Amino acid sequence: MSLGPVMLDLAGPELSPADRERLRHPLVGGVILFSRNYRSPEQVEALVREIHSLRQPQLLVAVDHEGGRVQRFRDGFTELPATRRLGYIYDENPKRARRLAETSGWLMATELRAVGVDFSFAPVLDLDRGVSQIIGDRAFHSRPEAVADIAHAYMRGMHHAGMAATGKHFPGHGGVAADSHIALPVDERPLVDILAEDAVPFERMIHYGLEGIMPAHIIFPRVDAQPAGFSRKWLKDILRGQLGFQGVIFSDDLSMEGAKGAGDVVARAKTALSAGCDMVLVCNDTAAADRLLAGLGHYDDPVSHLRLVRMHGRENPTRQQLAQDQAYRDAVRAVSGIA
CA atoms of 205 and 320, how far apart (whole Å): 33
Rg, the chain, Cα only: 19
Q: Name the phi and psi angles at 217, rounded to 5.
A: -85, 70
Nearest alpha-carbon partner for 209 in 282, 158, 271: 158
| Residues with catalytic roles | 181, 252
3-state secondary structure labels for all residues of the chain = CCCCCEEECCCCCCCCHHHHHHHCCCCEEEEEECHHHCCCHHHHHHHHHHHHHCCCCCCEEEECEEECCEECCCCCCCCCCCCHHHHHHHHHCHHHHHHHHHHHHHHHHHHHHHCCCCEECCCECCCCCCCCCCCHHHCCCCCHHHHHHHHHHHHHHHHHCCCCCEEEEECCCCCCCCCCCCCCCECCCCHHHHHHCCCHHHHHHHHHCCCEEEECCCECCCCCCCEHHHCHHHHHHHHHHHCCCCCEEEEEECCCHHHHHHCCHHHHHHHHHHHCCCEEEECCCHHHHHHHHHHCCCCCCHHHHHHHHCCCCCCCCCHHHHHCCHHHHHHHHHHHCCC
